[in-house]
A and B are shown apart, each in its own frame.
Chain A
Amino acid sequence: MPEVCDNIISTLAPCLVQSGTNPDVAQFISILLGVALIASFPLLLVIFLIWVERKIAARVQDRLGPNRVGPFGLFQNIADALKLIIKEDITPAGADRLIFNVAPVIAMLSVILIWAVVPFTPYNIGADLDIGVLYFVAISSIGTLAIMMAGWSSNNKYALLGAFRVVAQLVSYEVPMVLALLVPVMLASSMSMQDMAFAQLGMWFIVLTPVSAFIFYVSNLAETGRAPFDLIEAESELVAGYNIEYSGMKFGLFMANEFMHAFTANLLFAVIFLGAWAGPGATSVPILGFAYLMIKTAIVYVPSLILRATVPRVRIDQMMAFNWKFLVPLAIVNVIVIAFVLKLVQVLGIAPSPENASDFVANIPQMVALLLGNAVILAAAFGLIRGTVRKERLTEAARLAKRVQIEGEKEALPATVATH
């Protein structure tokens, strides 16, 4: 056989044509195989992810975590899934049946679809769309829609409140996320995910624009509804949030969707800021690129799990203020400063030329300039925060002092003011 048949994943279609299949049919079969591979991978992965998350949370909280079913409790989630499948499924009497039943499927769909544009190796990507970044932004909004559908159709006040919080939270945090994504698009001069990976061969974007990476990471945490931004399902206030009325496998789908979304968001972070598959030997041995991508994702994913197990939940007003009064202005300033610095780099002629863009040393002048820009942004941001926090503390102290005066507790005054 000629060498077109050596790699079943990327050259299946020409291989089939050679063995006498109709080209269109061959094309279709090849697409179908790719789709089946990519779409089922996250679903299988999620079983493992839930185990990882439970184990890590258990370690943080000084417990053992699942350890009964299978080696190290690895099969616990398979047992859980089986249990959920044979559970009675209740659609409450007042619910809007169609929307209620479709919502978990749409939630799942919104995450699976993102995997279509993830460059796994230099040669294997589901669909290398010209507008990969926009596609990601658009598809991740569908998840918001699914949660809104679930909350609205449940005929339950808590679920509805949870759904409103989704509109407030997920929608708000999309603004800094999209703003942060503008910078990698500027650096790569492309919206395709694969081009973005190639553009990072010389230098990862997290080194060039740490502020963008920070904004993207934080808003991703919020977009996936993870602690400290897990207000969507604040147990203490909303019972369970948007999925209270769900039971059986539909609940299971929402649950799996949450874990999958968290991993997918970190995967996107690894693709856009950590160079996707880039690493030694990735271009010659594609499977290595895939391994690098997974390792990079794990490096950002595990801290988010530890964060989830350690930090308390923020209040909704704090969360919205943090987004609109800190992240969005920071993201806007970031885009402006980076635009200026990049233009400056171009004018001064220290930008790496297209020929040596993948050379590490050629990237250093540009990196230094961009890092300086980032440092200025960060210094300004933290200066502003310090000022605001100080002002808030002073007003709080003044308020307390006034109250103490009215209540006549003179001896409590110095202590209260001193703590602020």
Chain B
Amino acid sequence: MTAAVNEWAFIGVFMSVAWILPTLPLVVSWLFRPRRANAIKLQTYECGVETVGDTWVQFKVQYYIYGLVFLVFDVELVFLFPWALAYNQLSFFAFGAGLLFIFLLADALIYAWRKNALEWA
């Protein structure tokens, strides 16, 4: 086994253990807890009063816009990591290209700002 494969094998085992460990207290709780459910108890609690209407109602569109802006930024940011990683060996051209990319990112931010996508209104 090569070293890199070994590291990822570790992550794989870690992932399964990380699934099991939080499940353990739930299982123990399942063994010991009382079960006296009735219709009233199982109602949605919300804030104490009976709920009115459907839960999955229309919501503020601003949440969605922030989600979109985030998506643009996050995808672009991932591309910057290789640039930052090889920073010390970069040629001048590659350095400039990376900076241009960051300026485009800043430009996107300014565009979103001017279009009022960042206003909570």
Q: B-contacting residues of A (Cβ < 8 Å)? A: 27, 31-32, 34-36, 38-40, 43, 81, 84-95, 101, 104-105, 108-109, 112-113, 116, 126-130, 133-134, 154-158, 160-161, 164, 167-168, 171-172, 174-175, 178-179, 182-183, 185-186, 189-191, 239, 244-245, 248-250, 252-253, 316-317, 320-321, 324-325, 328-329, 332, 335-336, 339, 342-343, 346
Query: Which residues of B sit under 8 angstroms from A329, Cβ to Cβ?
Result: 106, 109
Cβ of B111 under 8 Å from chain A: no
CB pair B44–A155 under 8 Å, yes or no, is yes
**Interface of chain B, helix or strand or loop or mixed?**
helix
CB pair A34–B84 under 8 Å, yes or no, is no
CB pair A339–B46 under 8 Å, yes or no, is no
Which B21-66 residues have a C-beta within 8 angstroms of A? 21-23, 25-26, 28-30, 32-37, 39, 41-47, 51, 55-57, 59-60, 62-63, 66
CB pair A342–B87 under 8 Å, yes or no, is yes
CB pair A249–B26 under 8 Å, yes or no, is yes
User: Which one of A35, A171, A182 lies within 8 Å of B17 (CB-CB)?
Assistant: A35
Cβ of B81 under 8 Å from chain A: yes
Q: A-contacting residues of B (Cβ < 8 Å)? A: 1, 4, 6-11, 13-15, 17-19, 21-23, 25-26, 28-30, 32-37, 39, 41-47, 51, 55-57, 59-60, 62-63, 66-67, 69-70, 73-74, 77-78, 80-81, 84-88, 95, 98-99, 102-103, 105-106, 109, 112-113, 118, 120
User: Which one of B9, B17, B41, B87 lies within 8 Å of A36 (CB-CB)?
Assistant: B17
A-B contact count (CB 8 A): 209
Smallest CB separation, A198 vs chain B (Å): 15
> Contacts A85-B25, A249-B26: A343 and B9 contacting too (C-beta < 8 A)?
no
Chain A, Cβ-Cβ closest to B11: A127
Query: Which residues of A sit under 8 angstroms from B35, Cβ to Cβ?
Result: 88
Query: Which residues of A sit under 8 angstroms from B60, Cβ to Cβ?
Result: 164
CB pair B19–A127 under 8 Å, yes or no, is no
**Interface of chain A, helix or strand or loop or mixed?**
helix
Chain A, Cβ-Cβ closest to B59: A164
Query: Which residues of B sit under 8 angstroms from A332, Cβ to Cβ?
Result: 102, 105-106, 109
Complex: how many Å from CA A116 to CA B7? 10
Query: Which residues of A sit under 8 angstroms from B87, Cβ to Cβ?
Result: 185-186, 189, 339, 342
CB pair B46–A43 under 8 Å, yes or no, is no
Query: Which residues of A sit under 8 angstroms from B37, Cβ to Cβ?
Result: 88, 90
CB pair A92–B43 under 8 Å, yes or no, is yes
CB pair A85–B46 under 8 Å, yes or no, is no
CB pair B29–A92 under 8 Å, yes or no, is no
CB pair B44–A40 under 8 Å, yes or no, is no
Smallest CB separation, A13 vs chain B (Å): 10
Smallest CB separation, B81 vs chain A (Å): 6
CB pair B118–A94 under 8 Å, yes or no, is no
Complex: how many Å from CA A113 to CA B11? 8
